[in-house]
Amino acid sequence: MPDAMPVFPDADAADTGRRERKRQQTLSHLTQTAWRLFETLGYDAVTMEQIAAQADVSKGTLYNHFPVKEALLAHRFHGELAASLAGLGPALKALPTLAARLTRLLHASAHWSESHRAYLGPYLRYRLATVQPGGRDDARSPRSGMQAIFAALIQDAQAAGQARSDLAADLLAHHLQFLYLGALLRWLDQPGASLKTEFDAAIALFMDGVDRRAA
């Protein structure tokens, strides 16, 4: 019987992996450079040309990855969100109801948002301007992932008989996402308002509609 053929690494796959790692390193370098400038000079004062110069890359390289400076802001914020949710996951699972889980999640979001208030206006305008038809993601302006988290929490509640199941979790999450964004925008427009209070009102409105007894 002939020996089995040796398995060689896939050169194309290895090249793809290296390219992706290099791309992620470039994204991280550009984002960190931009953030330092935002914090030092103020967001409005910083230009894309300054970011490129400080990062020691050509303007073409910067624009190839980030079409506008708001995209750099979004990349940093989405990374922070992913990191914070990774630590919050076990605490959410330990809570018994959808309302309790949403409250814990959005109160954590409120704490983060309050420390980033100066940047949330430009970020939210950019995100709303880059919404794709049908909620599709876009490599140049990826979504935050919050709606996917909402959908997972709602799906768990439906499986436990705590939420109506005549409507898909993705659809309910879509509506919750806009209640969430509306609360953020209202809070930004009202200095001195409590974001936790705004989020609590959004959760109450959503839970009134998602209660399985309302189906």
Place of tokens 């949330």: 120
For residues 14 and 148, give the distance between their C-alpha atoms in angstroms, rounded to a whole number.
30
Domains with residue ranges and CATH for the chain: 10-66 (1.10.10.60), 69-214 (1.10.357.10)
According to the model, what pLDDT value does residue 2 have?
42
pLDDT for residue 6 is more than 90: no
For residues 52 and 30, give the distance between their C-alpha atoms in angstroms, rounded to a whole number.
8
**pLDDT tens, position by position, 53-109:** 999 999 999 999 999 999 999 999 999 888 888 888 889 999 999 999 999 999 999
According to the model, what pLDDT value does residue 13 have?
61
For residues 51 and 34, give the distance between their C-alpha atoms in angstroms, rounded to a whole number.
6
**pLDDT tens, position by position, 116-172:** 999 999 999 998 888 765 555 555 556 678 999 999 999 999 999 999 999 999 999
The dihedral over CA atoms of 104, 107, 108, 113, expressed in degrees to the nearest 10, equals 160
Is this prediction's pTM over 0.85? no
For residues 100 and 7, give the distance between their C-alpha atoms in angstroms, rounded to a whole number.
51
Place of tokens 């996951």: 89
Mean pLDDT value across the chain: 88
**pLDDT tens, position by position, 34-51:** 999 999 999 999 999 999
* Of 85 and 15, more confident: 85
According to the model, what pLDDT value does residue 1 have?
39
DSSP three-state, residue 163: strand
Backbone φ and ψ for 163, nearest 5 degrees, come out as -140, 150
For residues 101 and 153, give the distance between their C-alpha atoms in angstroms, rounded to a whole number.
8
